Amino acid sequence: MTDNKYGDTFKSEKGIHTDFIEKMTYGDYLQLDTLLSSQKRLSDHHDEMLFIIIHHVSELWLKLIIHETQGAVAAIQRGELQASFKMLARVSKIQSQIIQAWDVLSTLTPAEYMEFRDKLGNASGFQSYQYRLVEFVLGYKTPFILKIYKKDPELHEILEKAYHSPGLYDVAIQALARSGFPIDEAVLTRDFSKTYKKDASVEQAWLAVYKNVDKYWDLYQLGEKLVDIEDWFQQWRFRHMKTVERIIGHKTGTGGSSGVGYLKKVLDHYFFPELWDIRTKI
């Protein structure tokens, strides 16, 4: 009954294309042969497929986050704040998807993971270059990280460029200065390869924005978009840490990090510190 019902419905759709001998299909457009053949297990354990797919999905979302944040940086530099808001709002939605991915991975038990963990060798999510690009555009930069990617000169060059480029918060501060706020020159001309440290002039500027929302509506929206992104990012970091703790406890990571210990440390870092500090002072 059900099959006949849907069969009749399909037949009634006279415009549906079925001849693709010389036309591009959905699979062709998305290059699904390449995408779906990339999940190659190194063990015969059933759950390794889960582990690979979760990380593949996360890397695809990271690719889109990079695309959107880089677009937002360029838009802010052009003074097109409204255009940047759409991109930054999309980033927050993407982040919610990546956070939920940890819920799926947490169905992997310690015993199951240990069945294939040794197959990873020293490979680790710690080495994800896309994750580093996200950190760089958010302003968190540590020089030793670049050493990981020296084996690939082309990739190293991409990371090196991002490492020395202004991040999302840098261009937001520049937008404050363009609006007439007296930002310290040392902040505006700082070395962008250094992790940003909070500044009193930036705090005073954001405080004025948040106390005069109607006057500085665009800058206020920008501030809130940045807070959204940092909030979601910290939630992602927390879920990452708890998922790792749930699956491997306090073992050293496959990449050599302290595992849970390292993940707990980065939870204390703020990308946009003044935007959090002013909430106490408003």
Annotated binding-site members = 51-55, 113, 117, 240, 254
Buried b (16+ CB within 10 A) or exposed e, 149-181: beeeeeebeebeebbeebbbbbbbbbbbbebeb
List, as residue ranges, the binding site for substrate.
51-55, 113, 117, 254
Q: How many CB atoms lie within 10 A of CB 279?
A: 9
For residue 100, give the 3-state DSSP assignment. Answer: helix
Q: Which two tokens stand for residue 97?
A: 């998807």
Residue 159 near residue 146, CB atoms below 8 Å:
yes
Q: Which residues have C-beta within 8 Å of that of residue 99, sequence separation ≥ 6? A: 232, 235, 236, 239
Question: Which value, in Å, is the radius of gyration of the alpha carbons in the chain?
Answer: 23
- Pairwise CA distance, residues 26 & 221, whole Å: 38
Of 146, 161, 195, give the one whose Cα is nearest residue 66.
161
List, as residue ranges, the binding site for heme.
240
